[in-house]
Amino acid sequence: MWRDVIKLITLTITKDAIGQEIETETLTEVFAEKNGIQRNEFFNAGQTGIKPALMFKIREIDYGGEESLEFEGVTYKIYRTYPKGEMIELYCEFRSGVNG
């Protein structure tokens, strides 16, 4: 069930000595259950221009509102979350401009 490992990406923006913004990514590894996208999710997301790729289920306590994650070297944007008890489903699409 929990065979997959994803890296939740936290983006922190700080300013340097001259006021320029510096983005820093922090990766947090968590165990996940990878699932495909169901037909109705694919259709509904497609109506708004989103191209769903995968859904990951993780423990809700591990999720801190991150907007993207990495799985097997590919970065995904989290476009929707759905809490289910102690778990949360993370619905993801390819993050444009990152994966070629």
Q: In the chain, what are the domains?
A: 4-94 (2.40.10.270)
> Which residue type sits at 3?
R
| Distance in angstroms (rounded) separating the CA atoms of residues 60 and 83 | 7
pLDDT by position in tens, the chain (length 100)? 688 999 999 999 999 999 999 999 999 999 999 998 888 787 777 777 888 899 999 999 999 999 999 999 999 999 999 999 999 999 999 865 544 4
pLDDT, residue 100, reads: 41
CA dihedral 28, 29, 35, 40 (to 10 degrees): 0
28: nearest Cα among 9, 11, 4: 9
Q: Based on the number of CB atoms within 10 Å of its own CB, is 61 exposed (0-12), middle (13-18) or buried (19 or more)?
A: exposed
Q: Could you tell me the two tokens for 7?
A: 């890296």
Considering the entire predicted model, what is its pTM?
0.84
